[in-house]
Chains A and B, each alone.
Chain A
């Protein structure tokens, strides 16, 4: 019934050859509980209507009731694959509002953790992308390499994914004594594995056929729809927050913003692969130069932000993540908004997938790298 209702709402009737398919909320390729109402003609996608909210957890509402240090652990649960970036965004925003300058050591460690998260996230994306296209073996190779990063997290932060490593004013704890050695060992290891990714999938003729020219998103559309992160950069939309509004230790490192002007699914694939190389280079620049110092600034027991509105942008693994705090001077925010990259990226799906096959829809959705709790919040 609801399908019929929605069709009527959208003012379009089904022609004789057209039919509706509900992809999700339980579907192998929606990576969670996203529902896509797909209008098909044979195999051809005519229209995609994303329906989200199946795991809407009301994080923004919850944040209004708890204090700023407590908010951080909730952000772990939004985009759980780049949890550290989310943590950092809140911490940076609070520090900005309180005008606290954190020591360089904190900045360096945060940046290294950011890039490790990005690596881990892109690895998981890579293996799931392979799986969505039917190459099931990639899944295990990607997870194999990601597990080691999670081990590094676990040793230093105490958790594998919901790291909660940041606090306003610094870090939860200093890095573990093994941290630097482990990271360096890992980079050495991963540099031998990354070319394998290329051999197994990137160069594969089937993958190229499946992705080249599919899911075209022009630069103008990317900007209009606010598609950021690797997906936006593959359309030539220069949107790397690390470059344009640098934060933490990004001003101290040299790195390239990976841009691609091919705008298709393969470009989005390649941008992420190249970003992994870039992340490795950033970590290498920082890991040996972590300055000595405190791991946190001494903060007051109860943090009260001055009245005002504060915005902090960071580059999470799938795009621009923003934290917007409206404070009325109390210890909890008056209103807190998370600008999640997935939400904007998701709604460009219809634009990109229309006219392609249903198999392409899966590939396009996969290269957008959607994390459903990030969209639903």
Chain B
């Protein structure tokens, strides 16, 4: 098996064994927690900054612009400069805001993102938690973020924030359903909820190919619903700039605003990573049934490159949506969910069940 050279299982195992030998089990576990936490924190910070930069460059290209060009070569350091600026800004709180909830909200939002990111398999062995109910866990924790958004809007003592938060609440609660159902479609196909097993199941062909029609429908539905879940355009009603100024985070400044901002991009990453894992094979290289030599060449590309390549592809599609379409109205967003996506999803799940039962797949 060629991709074993890229397997991280031995590395993580060795660290674990080494720590267990030198420390008591309690200390060893604590150190492991800290290491994992720091690694994720660093990853989120760096990847978040990268995504902000990528978004600005991608949108610039769509708009026939150059985007940031001044800070660093090709503006590479722009987001770092922005981040430093946000860190240094004064934290302003509206006088009649609810002190506790106002300060709690950004943490809730970002914690939800942290929780969700922990089950994603980046590469073989590079996954901090491998539940057997991974998909279920992910859908559960990803909906915690909306509480933070609702709190932010409610506690800010601003009508725009409140409208934005209520919109966001209605939107995320609805689209949670479609995200879960389209994932369930694939769970029916994969026969497991464990992310590592789902990836392993795509060794011969990615689910979007082997599951053909129902998988493609589920992919499209997931993309749409996922975009809505991350509050990104064309579903960015919660912060609809031309209507609500900045929606639920109107009253936040400095680092608290940065947390919302970062959480948005981490959510974008999570949605894309889930799409990549469940539909596009996660870190699995592209394999075609009988083309042995082709498959071997593909195996030489490291799995995490496969993973991030797919994630970036999905992120690009979502950005493409955002920079092309006008925003929907709040009632239309609910119409889209309840009158279109939900029925399609339910029919699709049946279709997938039929496909699985009749074994009419590759």
Seen from chain A, the residues whose Cβ lies within 8 Å of a Cβ on chain B are: 19, 21, 27-29, 43, 130-137, 139-141, 144, 200-201, 204, 206-207, 209-210, 357-360, 362
Contacts and interface: CB of A to CB of B under 8 A. Distances in A.
B85 interface: no
A209 B336 CA distance: 11
B233 interface: yes
A19 B326 contact: no
Interface stretch (B17-25, B61-69, B145-153): B61-69
Given A21-B159, A135-B324, A209-B332, A359 B62 contact: no
A28 B242 contact: yes
A247 to B, nearest CB: 36
13 contacts: A27-B245, A29-B242, A29-B243, A134-B242, A134-B325, A135-B324, A135-B325, A135-B326, A137-B323, A204-B325, A206-B325, A209-B329, A357-B331
Contact of A210 (B240, B324, B326): B326
Interface in B240-261: 240-243, 245
B216 interface: no
B326 A201 contact: yes
Q: Which 8 A-B pairs have the closest CB atoms?
A: A134-B327, A133-B326, A140-B63, A135-B326, A29-B242, A132-B242, A359-B329, A134-B326
Centre residue among A137, A200, A201, A359 by max chain B CB count within 10 A: A359
A149 B332 CA distance: 37
A313 B219 CA distance: 58
A134 B233 contact: yes
Nearest to B329: A359
Interface of B: 59, 62-65, 159-160, 163, 167, 233-234, 236-237, 240-243, 245, 323-332
A133 B324 contact: no
B328 A209 contact: yes
Contact of B328 (A29, A43, A131, A210): A210
A173 B305 CA distance: 64
A209 B333 CA distance: 11
Main secondary structure of the interface of A (DSSP, over half): helix
Contacts of A358: 163, 243
B163 A134 contact: no
A43 B163 contact: yes
A38 B362 CA distance: 58
A325 B138 CA distance: 71
A132 B326 CA distance: 8
Contact of A359 (B63, B234, B327): B327
A139 B319 CA distance: 17
B316 to A, nearest CB: 15
Given A21-B160, A134-B236, A206 B242 contact: no
B326 to A, nearest CB: 4
B164 to A, nearest CB: 11
Nearest to A206: B326
Contacts of B332: 206, 209-210
A122 to B, nearest CB: 18
A206 B328 contact: yes
B124 to A, nearest CB: 39
Nearest to A365: B242
A206 B237 CA distance: 14
Contacts of B331: 357
A137 B327 contact: no
B88 to A, nearest CB: 24
Contacts of A137: 59, 62-63, 323-324
A21 B243 CA distance: 11
B235 to A, nearest CB: 9
B169 to A, nearest CB: 13
A327 to B, nearest CB: 44
Given A21-B159, A137-B323, A206-B325, A357 B242 contact: no
B326 A359 contact: no
B334 to A, nearest CB: 11
Nearest to B332: A209
B156 to A, nearest CB: 14
A65 B107 CA distance: 61
A139 B62 CA distance: 11
Contacts of A362: 242-243
Given A134-B236, A136-B59, A144-B64, A28 B245 contact: yes
Which one of A27, A135, A144 has the greatest number of beta carbons of chain B within 10 Å? Answer: A135
A134 B241 CA distance: 8
Contacts of A134: 233-234, 236, 240-242, 325-327
A19 B159 CA distance: 9
Contacts of B62: 137
Among B63, B243, B245, B330, the one with the most A-chain Cβ atoms within 10 Å of its Cβ is: B243
A148 B160 CA distance: 38
Of B163, B324, B329, chain A has the most CB atoms within 10 Å of the CB of B329
Contacts of B328: 206, 209-210
Nearest to B159: A21
A50 to B, nearest CB: 17
Contact of A360 (B240, B324, B329): B329
A139 B242 CA distance: 13
B329 A200 contact: no
Which of B65, B234, B327 has most chain A Cβ within 10 Å?
A: B327
